[in-house]
Amino acid sequence: MLIFHLSPLATSLFSLLAIIALVLSFVMLASYWLKNHVYAFAAESWTIAAISASIGYYGHYPELYVIAILTALFRGSLLPYLVLRLVDRLGVQREFTPLLKPSSSMILGAVLVIFSYEVARQLGVALHLTDNIAVLALTCMFSLKLIGFLMMILRSEAISHILGLLVIENGIFLGSQILVPGMPVLMELVIIFDLLIIVMTFGMLVRLLQAHAGTTSSRGLQKLVG
C-alpha cells in the first residue's frame, strides 16, 4: 500500500489536497446558488486530479498521470460545463426551498465529518492502519459520501441531486486513489465514462421533467403525486 512508503513531504501534500477537497464540499453546503455548487465541484475534481498526479509521481504509477489528465478533463471541465449549460437552459439559478439554511447545513456537515473521523479511526485500528494519512483518506472518503447524500436529502432542485451524486463518486474516487492506487486503470476509465453518461441522462430527464411537470423541484413532484 502506497501510504506505508510516503515521505513526510508527500504525506503533507496529500493531506493538504484531501482537506482542500473536503473544504470545497462545504462550499456547496454554504451556498444557495447552483453555479457556485458547480464551480466548487469543478475545483474539487481538479484537486483530486492533482492527488492522482502526485500519487503517480511519488508511488511510481505512471498510468495515474493518464487518470489525472482524464479526471481534470472530464470531472473538472466537461461535467461542470454540461451541468452549467443545463442550469442556463433551465433558467434555475438557485435553491428556493432547501430544508435547512446554509449555516445549519454546514453545522450538520461538520457533525458528519466528526462521525466519519471516528468511523475511520476505528476502522484504521481494526485494519492496523496506523498512518495518519490512511485515517485522513478514509475520513475524507466517508465525509464526501455523507455530504453528497446530505445535498440530495436537503436540496430539492434536480441539479443539486446530480451534484450530490457526483460528490459521492468523488469521495469514493479520492479514497481509492490514496488507499488503493493500483486499481486497474480500465476500471477507473469505465467509472469516468459512466459519470458522463449519468450526467447526460439526468440532463435529458430534468428537461423532460420541466417540460411536462413545469418544475425541476422534487417537492413539486411530491405535490403532483399526492
Determine the 3-state secondary structure of 22 from DSSP: helix
C-alpha span between 63 and 141 (Å, rounded): 22
pLDDT at 104: 85
Neighbours of 161 (CB within 10 A): 19
DSSP 114-174: HHHHHHHHHHHHHTT---HHHHHHHHHHHHHHHHHHHHHHH--BHHHHHHHHHHHHHHHHH
pLDDT by 10s per residue, the chain, length 226: 555 566 778 888 888 888 898 899 888 888 888 888 889 999 998 998 898 888 888 878 887 888 888 888 888 888 888 888 888 887 777 776 667 788 888 889 899 999 999 998 888 788 777 677 778 888 888 999 899 888 888 887 778 888 888 888 888 888 777 777 666 666 667 777 777 777 777 777 777 766 666 666 666 665 555 4
Q: Can you list the pairs that 21-25 forms with residues at least 24 positions away whose Cβ atoms lie under 8 Å?
A: 21/47, 21/48, 21/51, 21/140, 21/144, 21/170, 21/174, 22/113, 22/140, 22/143, 22/144, 25/109, 25/143, 25/144, 25/147, 25/148, 25/167
Q: How many CA atoms lie within 13 A of 27 on its CB side?
A: 19
Nearest to 169 by CA among 206, 205, 144: 144
Which pLDDT belongs to residue 88? 83
Q: Looking at 168-215, which runs of residues are DSSP E strands?
A: none
Q: At what angle do helices 218-225 and 185-213 cross, to 10 degrees?
A: 50
